[in-house]
Structure 1
Amino acid sequence: MTSDVINARVTFRKSPIHMLERFTFPDLDSAYESFLQHSGLHECVILQTCNRVELFGCANSTDLDKIKKTWASVAGLEENAFKENLEISKGTDAYAHLLKLTSGLDSLVIGEEQILGQVKESISTARGIKASGDNLNTLFDKAIKIGTRVRQATGISKGSISIGSMAVNLAEENIDDLKSKHILLIGTGEAASLVAKSLKKRDIDFLITSRTFERSKAFAETAGGKPLPFEEATTNFKSIDVLFVATVAPYFLVTHDRVKEAMDSRNNGMLIMDLSNPRTVDDKVSEIDHVKVMNLDQIAEMVEKNMKNRIGVVSSAEHIINEELPLVEAAMKRLEVEPIVTNVFKEIDQARVKELKKALQMLGEKDEQKIRIIDQLTQAIVEDIMSIPMNNLRKASEQGDSEILKTVTRLFDYKRE
């Protein structure tokens, strides 16, 4: 009789941004149709952003293998493509995850505002094509309200900063008119995506490169930038004014010789931001005239100071979520019993109307005002008799009392469709 709510997701936490492209659904309508037909889900909501692909579903009995198989089919993947990428949450854990999403606690940049609008858009789309139902509509409505409350009460969206945005801020402080400069971003991982997001937000154009051109193109499609072949980018720094390096390469990508050669043929300076761990910019590069290098340690220290100032804000947000989560859980459990309550009231009302008609025929009553009064009287009697046991049934459902639910189901001969 219960409905399981499940969340299956592939996000930036376990997959670099260029990998996420593989798990997206190119045709949402087709994806919804496939999940509802083949995965065992009777409700679903799909959330896709540049940092995550998530499926929220509801089923009488969750079959994870069917969900993975359907996902792989729609996205054009092998079933084993998920491996360590896929994260699963069920029941209360899925509710908590959605609350963290709408509150901005599960984003690359804590408190970022865009995700709340994306969640709203995802449930609106699902509603529009009738892919979501009472369970997910209720869950998402409550999560959106709670996320909005968290943001208003804590101000978590104000002053949020990341390594990527701090690097861009520092670039703006050190370079006049950043928009007019030639900017290159090397890397397609988490840190690179934060830099790209910050540049894109400021409407600043930039080049993007990675060790494979396909990664660069996939990154550019989701995060912005103009893709550039790796060798072309790393062997010619002559025209680059600002260089962001954010990779996990185990060697120096930006060498002393390459930068020195570039600087010998130009008069203006170069700013290099090394966000890599380990560092991928040769330490000797900083010795070159008119070249300024800032590394991850320096940038991270500034971000850390900002985060320390925001620890109280994050803690306050988590406190609100912990307060609201039991209420969401109770509301979801209550949904289990609503079909029974509706069915009982429907059957009793049908019996009431049937007996009322008999009584009115026996009385020969034709006066419309009197008929209306008698009708209202019988309705009131039914509601008075049934309201207490039905409300107790709702409370039992909220408290997870499955035995009472089973008893009432047998008592009223309720058969779930």
Structure 2
Amino acid sequence: KDVKAACDSFKKIEGVDECIIIQTASRVEIFTVSNVETDDSPDARREEGKSLILNKIKATWEQHSSLEPNDIDHFDQILEVYKGDDVYTHLLRLACGLDSVVVGKQEIFNEIKESLANAKQAGFSGKILNKLFESVIRLATTIRDSTGISKDVVSLGDVAIRLIDEKAGLDAKKKVLLIGTGESAAMVAKTLNNKKIPFDVTSRTIERSTNFSQILGGKPVVFEEVLAGFDKYDIVIVATTADYFLITYDRIKLVMEEKKKGTIILDISDPRAVDEGITALPGIKLLFRDQVAEIYEESVKARSGIVPAVEKIIAKEVPVLSATMKRI
């Protein structure tokens, strides 16, 4: 929720000397310098596990996150822990864009640089993390330039917004609604932000919408209020993973029957979340994921052939980086 406050709390854990946090729409990465135990850590609920640094880090993470109770119960199932050389490999893959939702995307690289700058300014990082991040940034810049993995990268959000702009025109005066808070919705939100287009965001719970908006912008709105005021939107982008129709003829019939201006709805959900029956209502133009998928998949395919070359370079650089870090 507050990266600076979280970094401060991690630094207060006995045995943790440095900390840098990278937070994006789809991940939170916490890098610490500490005397982390080399063996597998016992269950934090057991007495012998509570005092271990790794479990203290987990507990602090939970306190500073917006995780819902069900997510906290399954936290260990989604948490990945890296130590030693695995950290160098992971950070290099991240900086080169291999582990991004959109392979090769420049955004994560920029966020790594920004996280380092913020940690330095606040005094949360030190000579070890500073050296590691500076080395990785330098290497990733060379790898990206030499392989071309960042060239002509487009996200699903880029293609979706381009299609809408072609079909209906897109500017800051249009009332835009984004339904969904997952990876596809995050890509759309980033593109809208880049184009400085304001938007409302909704999900099945207002908590998810609020958490999403804190990182990716948008005004969170209760889903039931969205349905009741559906007629005020000019553009609706649906990007969910729901296994049922969220938008149906019956749900929006009354509010849409008297609408004078048209509404364009793009459903990029998989499976579809908008019932085609709504096209019987006046002024509604419905577009589906198929109309953006082909362009997006061509972009993904073009870069997939570059990935092995990037991985090969990383494999050669990690031992060199490891030797450098051991000399500090």
TM-score for both structures, normalised by structure 1:
0.67
1:187-237 CA-partner distances (Å, limit 9, x unpaired): 111111111111111111111112222322222222111222211212332
Q: Which secondary structure state, in structure 1, belongs to the residue aligned with residue 172 of structure 2?
A: helix
The counterpart of 2:191, out of the listed 188, 198, 216, is 198
Q: Which residue of 2 aligns with 1:44?
A: 19
Give deviations 1:262-286, integer Å, cap 9, x for gaps: 5532343322111222211112234
Does 1:329 pair with 2:319? Answer: no
From 275, 282, 287, give the equivalent of 1:282: 275
Question: 2:10 pairs with 19, 35, 48, which one?
Answer: 35
Q: Return the match for 1:176 from 137, 151, 169.
A: 169
Structure 1 residue 182 displacement after superposition = 1.7
Query: Contact conserved, 1:35 with 1:44, CA < 8 A, in 2?
Result: yes
Q: Which has the larger radius of gyration?
A: 1
User: Which sits farther off after the overlay, 287-296 or 188-197?
Assistant: 287-296
Is the CA contact 1:209–1:230 (under 8 Å) kept in the aligned structure 2? yes
Give the equivalent residue in structure 1 for 2:44: none
Instruction: Confirm or deny that 1:66 pairs with 2:56.
Output: yes
SS state at 1:42 partner: strand
How many positions carry a matched residue from both structures? 310
CA distance in 2, matches of 1:76, 1:268: 39
Aligned to 1:273, the other structure's residue is in SS state: strand
State which of 134, 144, 153 in structure 2 corresponds to 1:141: 134
Distance 1:33 1:242 in 2: 41
| Counterpart in the other structure of 1:257 | 250
2: CA distance between counterparts of 1:244 and 1:148? 34
Q: Distance in 1 between matches of 2:312 and 2:3?
A: 38
Q: Which residue of 1 aligns with 2:206?
A: 213
* Compared CA separation, residues 157 and 69, structure 1 to 2 (3 A): same
Aligned-residue Cα RMSD (Å) equals: 2.6
SS of residue matched to 2:125: coil
Q: Does 1:111 align with 2:104?
A: yes
Contact 2:160–2:292 (Cα < 8 Å) also in 1: yes
- Closer, same or farther: CA 268–149 of 1 in aligned 2, 3 Å: same
* Deviation of 1:75 (Å): 4.9
Among 105, 109, 122, which residue is 2:115 paired with?
122
Distance 1:226 1:33, change over 3 A: closer
Is contact 1:167-1:299 (8 Å) kept?
Answer: yes
Structure 2 portions without partners, runs of 5+: 38-52
Deviation at 1:76, TM superposition (A): 8.6
Which runs of 5 or more structure 1 residues have no equivalent in the other structure? Answer: 1-23, 336-417
Sequence identity, in percent? 43
Displacement, 1:151? 2.3
Cα distance in 2, alignment partners of residues 75 and 210 from structure 1:
19
Q: Relative to 1, partners in 2 of residues 1:316 and 1:259: Cα closer, same or farther, differing over 3 Å?
A: farther
Change (3 A) 1:156 1:250: same
* 1:266 paired residue number: 259
Tell me the CA shift for residue 325 of structure 1: 1.9
Deviation at 1:255, TM superposition (A): 0.8
Matches for 1:315-394 after TM superposition, within 5 Å: 315-335=308-328
Could you tell me whether the CA contact under 8 Å between 1:39 and 1:66 is conserved in 2?
Answer: no
Matching residue within 145, 151, 176 for 1:158: 151
Q: Which of 53, 56, 63 in structure 1 is aligned with 2:28?
A: 53
Q: Which has a greater percent of helix? A: 1
The structure, 1 or 2, with the larger RCO (C-alpha pairs under 8 Å, 6+ apart) is 2
